[in-house]
Amino acid sequence: MKILELYLRAFGPFTDGHLDLSGGEHGLHIIFGANEAGKSSALRALRALLFGIPERCQDNFRHTNPNLRIGGRFRSASGQELHCFRKKGRKQTLRDAHDTPLPDDALAQLLGGVDERMFERLFGIDHDNLISGGLALLAERGREAEALFGAGLGGGNLHAVLKRLDQDAVELFSARRGSSSRLINQQLNQFAELERRQRELALSARQWDDIRKAVELARTRVLELDAALTEASRQRSRLERIRRTLPNLARREQLLAQLAELGDLPQLSADFGQRREAALFERLLEQDRDCGVDD
């Protein structure tokens, strides 16, 4: 149920007061004011509208009992709206906008089983009741508290729900040291192991700086070795060429020595080679002719 409007026509300090709570879709409105502004009176007016003005009313100091009037406009979850007023009396105290009596259960249908006592403990809570009632509910945890909250949840068996939740909690987690079969315990153990591994793998700033310097030094050394390797390869190629030419150099030295033994020789003409070959050829021809005569 959503409270759309509250009419404080004649109640407590109010005369023709009006609170419009219809704005927004989330159903939360914060009403604030200075001390003695009427916040507690407005809360009592809402409770009186929903459940009736009490026989002994403390809010009749400005308006007499017969003239007390509180009204409101409400909307159910299905969208049904009810516009009604409440007067003080013993019967037919709930009226519509035209002052026609409404059935006594007209508001009860919207309240969904919430009675006045439950409303005071769950919804119509002032500052003092908020503290004392909350502590009482936490301390009870018994049938009354379970029934109260169970009714607020739609009349379900809250005790069975709490028992099932306790069983689920036991299956999920155990506070005993060494428990590893529960799901949450397993996750906590895995988390602790990951934290341990993270600490092992983590490096301090000094360690990181030392490693960075070592890497830079290694890179410089690699460049130096590459340069030395290039120079060694160049020297190797030069020496290999020298090795291949050594036999020819030795032969050259040998020939030069033989020439030196011959001493000074006459200077040959440029066509000496051709004339030598021609002379040899003539000699061969003569030898052939001589052989033919002998036969």
Domain range summary for the chain, segments of one domain joined by +? 2-112, 114-156, 158-202, 209-252
294 — pLDDT class (breaks 50, 70, 90): low
Q: Which residue has the higher pLDDT, 170 or 14?
A: 14
Mean pLDDT across the chain: 84
Query: Residues near 156 by Cβ (< 8 Å), separated by ≥ 6?
Result: 150
Nearest alpha carbon to residue 93 among 81, 82, 78, 105: 105
Nearest alpha carbon to residue 52 among 144, 132, 3, 119: 119
11 — pLDDT class (breaks 50, 70, 90): very high
Q: In this predicted structure, what is the pLDDT of residue 216? A: 93
Write down the pTM of the prediction.
0.47
Q: Which residue has the higher pLDDT, 205 or 89?
A: 89
Nearest alpha carbon to residue 165 among 195, 198, 134, 141: 141
| Residue 145 one-letter amino acid | A
Q: In this predicted structure, what is the pLDDT of residue 142? A: 53
Q: Which two tokens stand for residue 100?
A: 């026609």
Looking at the chain, the whole-number percentage of residues with pLDDT higher than 70 is 86
Q: In this predicted structure, what is the pLDDT of residue 20? A: 92
- Summarize pLDDT for 76-85 with one digit per residue, the tens: 888 889 999 9
Nearest alpha carbon to residue 117 among 101, 98, 137: 137
Q: Cα separation of 46 and 223, whole Å?
A: 88
141 — pLDDT class (breaks 50, 70, 90): low
Q: In this predicted structure, what is the pLDDT of residue 189? A: 87
Tell me the C-alpha to C-alpha distance, in Å, between residue 174 and each of 180, 183, 193.
9, 9, 18
Q: In this predicted structure, what is the pLDDT of residue 102? A: 93
Overall average pLDDT of the 213-235 stretch: 93
Q: Which two tokens stand for residue 244?
A: 């291949």
